[in-house]
Chain A
Amino acid sequence: MHKHVLNHIDPKTIGARLQEARRASGLTQHAVAERMKMARTTLVAIEKGERRLTPHELLTFAELFGRPVSEFVGRPSVTIGFVPQFRAAWRQYFEKNADLERAATELQSLAEDYVELERLCNLPIVRAYPAPYDISRSTPEQSGEEIAAAERIRLGIGDGPLSNLRDRLENDVGLRIFYFSMSAKLSGVFAYNDTLGGCIGINANHPRDRRHWSLAHEYGHFLTNRFRAEITFLTSTKRSSSVERLADAFAENFLMPASGLNRRFTEMHRASPAGSITLAQICMLADLYQVSVQALIIRLEKLKRLPVGTWDRLSAEEFRPRRAQQMLGINATTPEEYLLPKRYLNLAVLAYEKGELSEGQLSRLLRTDRVSAREYVEKIRTSFNSPAETGYEPFKLDLAQALA
């Protein structure tokens, strides 16, 4: 720990954080300067990093913005934040909708925490990012299909259903994937910079199949245009551009590759005594692929395995997929078990066990209360210690040790 820490932190870092916090709280420079009893030019200089803060000023700013002091002095320095990227790309939406700012800020905050945990444990994430795909020579739909096929080959995942998509993208690609609560009309957010890497936030309140689709969709953004921060709305907007069409085409082909789906469909046909495919079988198949019944039927229509208009007909007949799934014992509404990446959770416990994190810091990083954080640590300890032991021992397992 530095004595007089404010003299050791780059004033530009604190200035940028203060500016972000001020904007998030909806206060103008004029209003803040007045509350702080300082000239607006002084505040501008502080936000630009041209003037150092006194401890008293920092405490007053933190109180004014309702933010912890540790958020300004206890976090790694990230030169480029996601929030300005989102604001630049989505200016007109940001001005009208505070939910977007909240989602962008949370993604930034979680990604920074993840990087800080990696720094504390000396275990940086392994990135296996492909070069951005060239999308200039095909339609968005063709590009989405081609990239999905190429990615399946690159990741060595064949043409079957992807029930463990999140694990794949976290472990085999090195993306940071978080589930958190967003406004119902938002499905997901994506952003990238060199320090934090590719980061995806998925709306934790959405049902399983929607979350799965959103994850593949955001991955499509990462593969094609990673330098642009993206926000995906639940329903398409006027801005349903070629970028969005491409990401949707990618998701459709990545989650339901033609070859595998056709093969399964043919096998189902062959196995059926009446030679027909029932709605129940389609519901089961959608569950297997973890996509909505609607998405699967539309995909099968495109593959000419179901008559065009099947979904429209079922909709007109007031078919309710959720009801059908309930009748078949399919639970597609299960919440995401891990809102934070498992690796993030394990790094947090490891850093705590090493004495690098306090209990208060641990509970903030786990986004939970102290007793729940203790329970989580205990759960991890139990999985490492034999049940016969009384009391606990700190981890003896050094995950950061060099083996090669």
Chain B
Amino acid sequence: MSPAQIIDACVLINLLATGELKSILDSVGRPSLICSIVQEESVYLKTGDPNNPKELINLAPFLNDGTLSVCEIGDENEELLYVDFASVLDDGEAMTLAIAINRGLYLVTDERKARRLFSEQFANPKRLISTSDLIHHWAQEKKISANKLQKTLQKIESRASYRPPTTDRNQKWWIKALS
């Protein structure tokens, strides 16, 4: 079985914004983890309503139906990596990265610093996945219509204020799908 993937908060927010989290993660075909600190981090999305501009997202339904599982720091080596990464990242990013490296998991993050540390220092860059990789894969795997894909990407932009940078390998595809 393919190793699990561990998702950092920056990507989780984007996936939650789509309203298609379960469908997107199901299309990948491997278990999806988040670390306990990311679970505790309050995730807000924009609503577009000026009277109530932000909405706090509840992760419980996705944890209850098994779409996501929570993991904790494990052995001494993970503790060591976690503390080292916490000197240059925030706690959620550091814990996610430490677990990904120590357990040989796929790392799902858009975070430049975390991606750099993952690919430069320790691990296999092929196990590095971004928001756009997941959406691109989902669109192909589930044969998502152009109209639905456009609406999904619009939601990521409007609710999570995210658009991939020009350095992202799927950026041109993303812009085209949006237009």
CB of A2 within 8 A of CB of B87, answer: yes
User: Assuming the A-B contacts A355-B112, A371-B45, are A69 and B13 also in contact, with contact meaning beta carbons closer than 8 angstroms in the complex?
Assistant: no
Chain A proximity of B59: nearest CB distance (Å): 14
Cα A363 to Cα B152 in complex, Å, equals 25
A interface residues (Cβ-Cβ under 8 A, vs B): 1-6, 9, 55-56, 58-59, 68-70, 73-74, 355, 357-361, 363-364, 369-372, 374-375, 378, 390-394
Cα A59 to Cα B78 in complex, Å, equals 11
Interface string of B86-123 (1 = CB under 8 A from A): 11111111100000000000000011111011000000
Besides A68-B86, A374-B161, 20 new A-B residue pairs in contact (Cβ under 8 A), listed by A number: A1-B117, A4-B80, A9-B87, A55-B82, A56-B76, A59-B73, A69-B83, A69-B86, A358-B93, A358-B111, A358-B112, A360-B90, A360-B111, A370-B10, A371-B159, A372-B44, A374-B160, A391-B164, A391-B166, A391-B175
B89 nearest CB neighbor, chain A only: A358
Partner of A358, one of B113, B159, B163: B113
Interface centre among A2, A68, A371 (most CB of B within 10 A): A371
CB of A375 within 8 A of CB of B161, answer: yes
Cα A55 to Cα B79 in complex, Å, equals 6
CB of B83 within 8 A of CB of A58, answer: yes
Chain A residues with CB below 8 A from B94, complex form? 69-70
CB of B83 within 8 A of CB of A73, answer: yes
B92 nearest CB neighbor, chain A only: A360
Cα A369 to Cα B12 in complex, Å, equals 14
Pairs A-B, 3 closest by C-beta atoms: A360-B90, A374-B161, A55-B79
A62 nearest CB neighbor, chain B only: B91
CB of A55 within 8 A of CB of B91, answer: no
CB of B87 within 8 A of CB of A1, answer: yes
Chain A residues with CB below 8 A from B43, complex form? 369-370
Chain B residues with CB below 8 A from A364, complex form? 90
Chain A proximity of B80: nearest CB distance (Å): 5
